[in-house]
Amino acid sequence: MTQTTTRPGPLHPLLRGSEDYPFVKLDKRVKALCPPGIEPIQFNIGDPRERTPEFIREALRAAVPEVSSYPSVAGVPELRRAATGWLQRRYGVSIDPETELLPLNGTKEGVYLLAQALVGGDDARRTVVIPAPAYPIYEPGARFAGADVHRVPLRAEDGWRFDPARVPDDVWRRTALLCTST
pLDDT of residue 106: 81
Q: Based on the domain organization, do 115 and 151 belong to the same domain?
A: yes
Q: Based on the domain organization, do 87 and 129 belong to the same domain?
A: no
Helix, strand, or coil (residue 132): strand
In a domain? residue 144: yes
**Count of structural domains, the chain:** 2
Q: Based on the domain organization, do 117 and 167 belong to the same domain?
A: yes
In a domain? residue 124: yes
More confident residue, 74 or 2: 74
Can you spell out the DSSP letters for 30-97?
Answer: HHHHSPTT--PPP-SS----SPPPHHHHHHHHHHS-SS--PPPTT--HHHHHHHHHHHHHHH-----T
Helix or strand run (H / E) with residue 115: helix 107-118
pTM above 0.85, yes or no: no
pLDDT, one tens digit per residue, over 76-110 is 899 999 999 999 999 999 999 999 988 888 888 88
Q: Based on the domain organization, do 96 and 147 belong to the same domain?
A: no
Helix or strand run (H / E) with residue 19: none
pLDDT, one tens digit per residue, over 16-75 is 556 677 777 888 888 899 998 988 877 666 666 788 999 999 999 998 888 888 777 788
Give residue 85's domain range: 74-103
pLDDT of residue 105: 81
In a domain? residue 161: yes
42: which residues sit within 8 A by CB, 6+ positions away? 30
In a domain? residue 40: no
The closest alpha carbon to 133, from 148, 112, 154, belongs to: 154
